[in-house]
A and B are shown apart, each in its own frame.
Chain A
Amino acid sequence: MAGWQVGIDIGGTFTDIVAARGADSGTAGEAEFRTAKVPSRPADPVGSIFAALEAIGIAPDGIADLVHGTTRVTNAIVENKLEPVTLLATEGFEDIIEIGRQSRRDLYRLDVPPKPAPLIPAERRIPVAERIAHDGSILRPLTATEATIDAALAAGTRSVAVMLLHSYANPEHELALAERLQGRVPYLSLSHQVNPEAREYERCVATVLNAAVMPLAAEYLARLRAELPGNARLHVMHSAGGMASPEAAAERPLLMALSGPAAGVAAAAAVARETGEAALLSFDMGGTTTDVALILDGRAEITVDARLADQPLRQPMVAIESIGAGGGSIVRHGPAGLSVGPQSAGAEPGPACYGRGGTAPTVCDANAILGYLNPRRRLGGTITLDAGRAAAAFAPLAEQLGLPVVELALGVLRVADATMARALNKITVERGVDGRGATLLAFGGMGPMHATGLAATYGITRVLVPHASSAFSALGCVAAEMSYTRQRTLRLPGEGFDAARLAAARAALLEELSAPLLAQGVAREIIAAEETGLIRYRGQSYAVDVPLSGAMDGAGLGSAFEARHRALFGFASGEAWEMIGLRLRVAAPRNLALAPPAPEPAPPRPFATDPCWFAPGAPLPTPRYERAALAPPHRLVGPAIIEDDWSTILVPPGWSATARPGGHILLLREDA
């Protein structure tokens, strides 16, 4: 038998695992697929992995590839549990990390600090006597290197970040410092490697954050590597939705800042390719946040402008819009009206209906009040839902507003939908796409229950709940292509376009990115490359992503850029343009069967019928079906609920649900 392809996503509460092995590997036996969810052990992530493997009955030595999505880097940044870092910066610019861009977060609030505290205190910012110009020429040679290095070492941190001005144009000085520091500090981050692009503050933050998570990431990966027996190859899911080797991830841990959500988006992209959906909006609703992303023609959009905890990351990442609204989000009535989130009841105590001491009204409680959540099913085998507690949590607010509790609960869901719709709007608007023609792909603990409501608010008529929707990030770890992405600064004016330089830069980048794939035994012929030019009118600040295909000459690029600019902003001016960067992505596909074996297509029978509220007035008798009992060509008409141990798919009146090949459920708006 071929070895297992295993995907593991360690979240805050649960660890998800998905394992697959193909029938096309030339050996006997059927394609196999297994999945499970086990409680996470926050103090022992490696232990979580072994527990998950045990839950699906796979021995570590049966694994061929283990792909891991982790929130360790994310959490370290969000919770500000960062390793102290010493910063070496061009003399005169060592305070840039505190000055930032000067603007403040909130226009009207005086009580909160206008910007986050600096990542590095003044005493650990060491000036470096040197200066490079914007064109890479050296204005002031690097001097007093030993004294600088001594000062850096005296600061006594394990991790050092180096940020010299214009190092993306000429890395000579950063490399010279690195040479002297090598072997004298365990962890080193150079700005021209972490973010080879102009804008010193953003590059500095990215470099320092990378340095600040390096020890944690390196030690974690080393332990994983050491304890994973056998010949299993270990890969890490990075934020652009592809793989990184543990070595690369340890060097550039910032690439893992969105590892978990990116894995979900990678799975969504795989579903888009499998089902042929041209435009897909992924909708991952969890307990405290909702992440959405846009997938066009099977590819997730990539951005370098992502931020985490108010800090710029400047890494190529899946363009995910994240908002603080989830199942645990607390409903509040303030001076600005009714709001949902960003305060959350979290996992502890959780929503009131969990009966674990929560008393604040939450989105999840609204679902319980309306009858959508099955009170007889134990969520994940542990939590029993108590609609009575949910109603008690809603009562004070209902009284204040003079509304019945049920009407308030229905209203809360509409407000939650409107809040989430803004995230959908943002992610589509920024790409110049009308999202209403897209299919909403709903996953995460709460996604399948809220999908039709959100779709109706936003004007979407198709919702797909994918196979393994509640372990979707883990599925993404298995479904994602083996891929690597990198972005380089490359300044080429449109007039007299130097196509040869572009071709040379592309070839060099291709070689660099293919190396790890070739080392893993991937055949060069199946490696696909995809390049994107970052192009703007001369004088603009932000470049437009222009896919480079076919002839990469000046005329072709110019017209492709203008077309893209018109699509995004409604005009194109025909002025002089320039290319400022090149992004390359290489990928090798993995051909795996990811679908569960289909059950016998006996007509589906509800296992229960409960009253559920979809509108004020009276509840409707709503049948409940086991998800595992559905198979093509089954079709249900709302109201109906399809559930398993982990999630609830709501099919309201006016919608239908059809079982699709591959274990997906398609929800269609019938009254549109």
Chain B
Amino acid sequence: MSTPDPFRLEVLRHALTGIAEEMSFVVMRSARSPLLREAGDLSSALTDATGQLVAQGRDIPVHLGVMSFTVGAFLQRVPAERLRPGDVWFTNLPELGGNHLPDVKAIRPVFAEGRLLGFAVSLAHWADIGGAWPGSYLASATESVQEGLRLPPLRLFTADGPDEEKIAVLLNNVRGPAEREGDMLAQLAATATAERRLLDLCATHGAATIEAAMAALHDRSEAAMRAAIASLPQGVFEGEDFLDDDGPGGAPAGIRVRITIEGETAAFDFSATDDALAGPLNTTPYVTAAAVYYAMKAIAGPEIQPNGGCYRPLRVATRPGSLLDPPREKPLVGGNHETSQRLVDAIFRAFAEVIPERLSAGGSTTAGLLIFGGAGRDGAWKTLYEPHGGGEGARHDRPGRAATRVHLTNTNNTPAEIIEAEFPIRIERHALRPGSGGAGHHAGGAGTEREYHVLSPEMSLTTMFERRVIPPWGLAGGEAGAPFRCLLRRPDGTEEELRGKANLPVRAGERVILQTSGGGGYGSSD
């Protein structure tokens, strides 16, 4: 197996990345739930035969980081000998290179010239995966099984077609089965497209060349990442940040990292992080690694082609029993987008003294999530899954932007005109939140305000957001941004501030008013 020349490597890099991007396009255009088609809560990747990430779409960093592990862990459970052309396996187990139950991964092995060439993986956030509460975010959960259906790797499709019985079990245990089935078919279609494209590529270049290119791309990214690490100050740096609470209540929970930059390698030790939490803010070592990968790319090497090799010079350690490596029965639905963002905050804060000019101040590092569940305008059961951006943290050379997603997440909002046509909800207001950016030499970006007016007799509401208690931090003397807030206003005019992790019924005439956090400022105000 000889290494392709640099030009053919470039040709294949374009082709492989194009395939991953095409997969995401297929899911977004053919999926049924607004969460996928409007918000784009999905990601796509190609891996080599060992499960190392080779190419990714322009999707969501936390997904992409996790997918670096998914196939490798899958292969531990399902040996390669059991895989057949035409198989598509589905899994969502957090401990199997996963993050949380709603993120369902469709994994298709791709065979070429009689051997396993690699995998196409389509990750999609299902708007419901069963469990105790519509939308599968149970704020008071104390066990993983309360959060929904746990899917060990299941071969739902083979070359002969769908496995109707298994699919029926799955669809009988989720809300909105028709919508879920549509989303599942969209993932299936995406992996089928990827397989077709990979086989075309093999026909042109030969499978051996593709394999050699995959290996060469890993090596190149590894070298680039080593150089990027070497550009950082050497030494040991410690950072911490806190989650607002452990889910249903409790004190802020500490995330602590000790970073050792030594030559061309970097080690991230999270052992000093607090113990596993009672509620759903735990997460997995894979999400922890995804946060590290994101932070290192953002700080040191945004241009590096993200793939398995990119991450080789990085070491990530978590302590079993901690909230980053909890016992498998622990709940963790919120950890995927709340705790993961706090990990990035802790890493950034570790570097705050030494390289502030490479960072941005704390931003609205939360999914800022509201989930409404109930009958849609067409009578069918639906969930409206609404992630909310806020202010970006300021930088040494510019203010933070208002109303944007930061760091590990990158979902869209859903237009008011779409929500109102499909759900018994009226959006009364969607505006910037004035004065919410932290002051500083450069101010943090403003958060937003959105007011939901409930029109049907009763709907379920879930909140899952952070930065309500501990606001986005300022950098280099800048001030913190305004904290996240969510109010429930009743028809009689009384108001109640909702907690960041809550499940409650909401009724006709009630209004849910969300104010997202502003970004932290940079430098002291002049």
Q: Do A and B bind each other?
A: yes
A401 vs B220: C-alpha distance in the bound complex, in angstroms? 14
- Beta-carbon contact of A107 and B61 below 8 Å: yes
Across the interface, name the chain B residue whose C-beta is closest to A410: B7
* Across-interface contacts of B470 in A (CB, < 8 A): none
* Across-interface contacts of B417 in A (CB, < 8 A): 134, 165-166, 198-200
Question: Of B33, B299, B428, which contacts A539 at CB under 8 A?
Answer: B33
Question: Of B6, B360, B395, B421, which contacts A338 at CB under 8 A?
Answer: B6
CB proximity to B under 8 Å, residues A80-105: 92-96, 98-104
The answer to whether A134 and B10 touch (CB under 8 A), given A92-B430, A110-B360, A540-B32, is no
Does B77 lie at the interface of the complex (its beta carbon under 8 Å from any beta carbon of A)? no
Does B38 lie at the interface of the complex (its beta carbon under 8 Å from any beta carbon of A)? yes
Residue tally, chain A, CB below 8 Å to B: 68
A339 vs B304: C-alpha distance in the bound complex, in angstroms? 13
- Beta-carbon contact of B38 and A541 below 8 Å: yes
Chain A nearest Cβ from B444, distance in angstroms? 13
Across the interface, name the chain A residue whose C-beta is closest to B294: A108
Chain B nearest Cβ from A467, distance in angstroms? 32
- Beta-carbon contact of A93 and B182 below 8 Å: no
Does B401 lie at the interface of the complex (its beta carbon under 8 Å from any beta carbon of A)? yes
Question: 19 A–B contact pairs at CB < 8 A?
Answer: A93-B416, A95-B403, A98-B402, A101-B412, A102-B389, A110-B298, A114-B401, A114-B405, A335-B227, A338-B7, A339-B10, A414-B8, A419-B14, A429-B193, A537-B182, A539-B380, A541-B418, A568-B30, A575-B182
* Across-interface contacts of B10 in A (CB, < 8 A): 337-339, 411, 414-415, 418
Residue tally, chain B, CB below 8 Å to A: 87
* Across-interface contacts of A401 in B (CB, < 8 A): 6
* Across-interface contacts of B305 in A (CB, < 8 A): 335-337
- Beta-carbon contact of A418 and B193 below 8 Å: no
Sorted from nearest, which 7 A-B pairs have the closest CB atoms? A541-B37, A411-B7, A92-B429, A102-B389, A335-B224, A108-B302, A418-B11
A199 vs B422: C-alpha distance in the bound complex, in angstroms? 13
- Beta-carbon contact of B298 and A429 below 8 Å: no
Question: Of B18, B200, B412, B415, which contacts A198 at CB under 8 A?
Answer: B415
Chain B nearest Cβ from A26, distance in angstroms? 51
Does B122 lie at the interface of the complex (its beta carbon under 8 Å from any beta carbon of A)? no
The answer to whether A421 and B403 touch (CB under 8 A), given A108-B61, A200-B415, is no
- Beta-carbon contact of B5 and A542 below 8 Å: no
Per-position contact with A for B406-427: 1 when CB-CB < 8 Å, else 0? 1000111101111011000010
Chain A nearest Cβ from B200, distance in angstroms? 8
The answer to whether A101 and B228 touch (CB under 8 A), given A134-B420, A414-B11, is no
Question: Of B61, B188, B304, B415, which contacts A335 at CB under 8 A?
Answer: B304
CB proximity to B under 8 Å, residues A546-584: 565, 568-571, 573, 575
* Across-interface contacts of B294 in A (CB, < 8 A): 108
Does A617 lie at the interface of the complex (its beta carbon under 8 Å from any beta carbon of B)? no
Chain B nearest Cβ from A124, distance in angstroms? 14
Per-position contact with A for B204-221: 1 when CB-CB < 8 Å, else 0? 100000000000000010
**Total inter-chain residue pairs, C-beta < 8 Å:** 199
Chain A nearest Cβ from B194, distance in angstroms? 12
A122 vs B434: C-alpha distance in the bound complex, in angstroms? 11
* Across-interface contacts of A590 in B (CB, < 8 A): none
Chain B nearest Cβ from A600, distance in angstroms? 43
Does B301 lie at the interface of the complex (its beta carbon under 8 Å from any beta carbon of A)? yes
Does A538 lie at the interface of the complex (its beta carbon under 8 Å from any beta carbon of B)? yes
* Across-interface contacts of A165 in B (CB, < 8 A): 416-417
The answer to whether A198 and B421 touch (CB under 8 A), given A114-B401, A540-B32, A573-B182, is yes
- Beta-carbon contact of B298 and A166 below 8 Å: no
Does A334 lie at the interface of the complex (its beta carbon under 8 Å from any beta carbon of B)? yes
Does A115 lie at the interface of the complex (its beta carbon under 8 Å from any beta carbon of B)? yes
- Beta-carbon contact of A457 and B302 below 8 Å: no
The answer to whether A539 and B6 touch (CB under 8 A), given A98-B402, A98-B403, A111-B395, is no
- Beta-carbon contact of B420 and A94 below 8 Å: no
The answer to whether A103 and B430 touch (CB under 8 A), given A336-B303, A414-B8, A575-B178, is no
- Beta-carbon contact of A569 and B189 below 8 Å: yes
- Beta-carbon contact of B420 and A573 below 8 Å: no
A570 vs B157: C-alpha distance in the bound complex, in angstroms? 15
- Beta-carbon contact of B431 and A109 below 8 Å: no
- Beta-carbon contact of B303 and A110 below 8 Å: no
Binds A, one of B21-29, B109-117, B167-175, B252-260: B21-29
Known: A115-B404, A139-B426, A338-B7. 13 other contacts (CB 8 A): A93-B431, A102-B403, A102-B411, A104-B405, A113-B398, A133-B420, A165-B416, A198-B418, A417-B11, A421-B14, A429-B193, A537-B182, A570-B189
A609 vs B344: C-alpha distance in the bound complex, in angstroms? 62
Does A422 lie at the interface of the complex (its beta carbon under 8 Å from any beta carbon of B)? yes
* Across-interface contacts of B301 in A (CB, < 8 A): 335
Chain A nearest Cβ from B237, distance in angstroms? 18
Does B359 lie at the interface of the complex (its beta carbon under 8 Å from any beta carbon of A)? yes
Does A404 lie at the interface of the complex (its beta carbon under 8 Å from any beta carbon of B)? no
Chain A nearest Cβ from B220, distance in angstroms? 6
- Beta-carbon contact of B420 and A107 below 8 Å: no
The answer to whether A92 and B421 touch (CB under 8 A), given A401-B6, A411-B5, is no
Does B326 lie at the interface of the complex (its beta carbon under 8 Å from any beta carbon of A)? no
* Across-interface contacts of A111 in B (CB, < 8 A): 395, 397
Does B67 lie at the interface of the complex (its beta carbon under 8 Å from any beta carbon of A)? no
* Across-interface contacts of B200 in A (CB, < 8 A): 459
Chain B nearest Cβ from A125, distance in angstroms? 10
The answer to whether A568 and B432 touch (CB under 8 A), given A103-B40, A414-B7, is no
Does B498 lie at the interface of the complex (its beta carbon under 8 Å from any beta carbon of A)? no
- Beta-carbon contact of A113 and B401 below 8 Å: yes
A179 vs B448: C-alpha distance in the bound complex, in angstroms? 33
Question: Of B14, B25, B395, which contacts A418 at CB under 8 A?
Answer: B14
Does A79 lie at the interface of the complex (its beta carbon under 8 Å from any beta carbon of B)? no
Does A430 lie at the interface of the complex (its beta carbon under 8 Å from any beta carbon of B)? yes
- Beta-carbon contact of A570 and B192 below 8 Å: yes
Question: Of A95, A115, A430, which contacts B431 at CB under 8 A?
Answer: A95
A93 vs B200: C-alpha distance in the bound complex, in angstroms? 48
* Across-interface contacts of A92 in B (CB, < 8 A): 428-431, 451
The answer to whether A539 and B32 touch (CB under 8 A), given A110-B395, A571-B185, is yes
- Beta-carbon contact of B29 and A542 below 8 Å: yes
Does B186 lie at the interface of the complex (its beta carbon under 8 Å from any beta carbon of A)? yes
* Across-interface contacts of B7 in A (CB, < 8 A): 338, 410-412, 414-415
Chain A nearest Cβ from B175, distance in angstroms? 14
- Beta-carbon contact of A573 and B18 below 8 Å: no
Across the interface, name the chain B residue whose C-beta is closest to A166: B417
Question: Of B5, B25, B297, which contacts A108 at CB under 8 A?
Answer: B297
Does B241 lie at the interface of the complex (its beta carbon under 8 Å from any beta carbon of A)? no
A107 vs B405: C-alpha distance in the bound complex, in angstroms? 10
* Across-interface contacts of B192 in A (CB, < 8 A): 570
The answer to whether A539 and B430 touch (CB under 8 A), given A99-B402, A411-B7, A419-B14, is no
Chain A nearest Cβ from B483, distance in angstroms? 19
A148 vs B227: C-alpha distance in the bound complex, in angstroms? 58
* Across-interface contacts of A337 in B (CB, < 8 A): 6, 9-10, 13, 220, 305
Chain B nearest Cβ from A104, distance in angstroms? 5
A426 vs B193: C-alpha distance in the bound complex, in angstroms? 13
Does B523 lie at the interface of the complex (its beta carbon under 8 Å from any beta carbon of A)? no
The answer to whether A541 and B61 touch (CB under 8 A), given A335-B301, A337-B13, A414-B8, is no
- Beta-carbon contact of A94 and B431 below 8 Å: yes
Across the interface, name the chain B residue whose C-beta is closest to A127: B431
Does B87 lie at the interface of the complex (its beta carbon under 8 Å from any beta carbon of A)? no
* Across-interface contacts of A426 in B (CB, < 8 A): 18, 22
- Beta-carbon contact of B429 and A93 below 8 Å: yes
A355 vs B302: C-alpha distance in the bound complex, in angstroms? 35
Chain A nearest Cβ from B155, distance in angstroms? 19
- Beta-carbon contact of B6 and A411 below 8 Å: yes
Does B166 lie at the interface of the complex (its beta carbon under 8 Å from any beta carbon of A)? no
Does B392 lie at the interface of the complex (its beta carbon under 8 Å from any beta carbon of A)? yes
A6 vs B352: C-alpha distance in the bound complex, in angstroms? 64
* Across-interface contacts of B395 in A (CB, < 8 A): 110-111
* Across-interface contacts of A417 in B (CB, < 8 A): 11
A410 vs B448: C-alpha distance in the bound complex, in angstroms? 52
